[in-house]
Amino acid sequence: MKANKEMRAEYDFRGGVRGKYAKAYRQGHTVTIHKRDGTTETRRYKGDDEVVVLEPDVRTYFPDSESVNKALRSLIALIPQKPRRTKTKA
């Protein structure tokens, strides 16, 4: 599905305030996830450091956290690991 870049006539943002909830969001928020199997999971986020926002074109391929994490773990496996230096006693 291709995103429509046009603003619909019924959307009227006059009088809206940009960033109205931004400060509260950065202070922390709770997200309730309703899973397909009928269970729910509640997560508390402390701020922006724990949140990754996907662009719509990426979200098409990765619709949930599980698919994103699986793909990233596959990429991590491809990253060459540097040998760890061991401490020697002087």
Domain ranges of the chain: 23-78
Structure tokens at 26: 């950065």
Dist CA 4 CA 19 (whole Å): 23
Tell me the pLDDT tens digit for each residue of 1-51: 455 677 788 888 888 888 888 888 778 888 899 999 999 999 887 766 667
Q: Can you name the residues that pair with 30 across neighbouring β-strands? A: 44
Output the pTM of the full model. Answer: 0.41
Q: Which residues of 24-49 are buried (b: 16+ CB within 10 A; e: fewer)?
A: eeeeeeeeeeeeeeeeeeeeeeeeee
